[in-house]
Amino acid sequence: MAKRSSAAAAKAAPPARGAGLKAVAGDASAPLALDRIIHERVRLAIVSALAVHDALTFNELKALLDTSDGNLSVHARKLEDAGYVACRKGFEGRVPRTEYRITAAGRRALEGYLAHMEALIRRVGG
């Protein structure tokens, strides 16, 4: 029996479910395409809080999220490295002050993430 070439096999086989679909914001056909930067619980809480406030200080975020200094610092840095959050450090008198704001890219990422989650919920009948 002759072997079929891989190109012929690919032509003959039906496409896999969801194959060829590009993962876009709100596309529930690609549930694993969620933004992994935002998907983590503390980072989602940070960008969500910043989306409804013009700016929040480190201490305000820490109190709002009820998290430790180290935990907030690590997650805020990850968001900053991704370009989702802007950080400004300065002093208020002699006291250090760190302030965070969501960037335009962060707002788009959050909106895309929420649209994707809503599409997943609709797809499973919620």
Task: Please report which confidence band the pLDDT of residue 16 belongs to, taking 50, 70 and 90 as the band edges.
Answer: very low
For the chain, the residue count is: 126
Spell out the domains of the chain, with CATH numbers in brackets: 32-123 (1.10.10.10)
pLDDT digits (tens, 9 = 90+) for 32-84: 678 999 999 999 999 999 999 999 999 999 999 999 999 999 999 999 999 99
Least confident of 23-32, 44-53, 95-104: 23-32
pLDDT of residue 27: 56
Find the helix or strand (DSSP H, E) in which 89 lies: strand 85-92
pLDDT confidence of residue 75: 98
Q: In terms of Cα–Cα distance, which of 75, 83, 77 is closest to 45?
A: 75
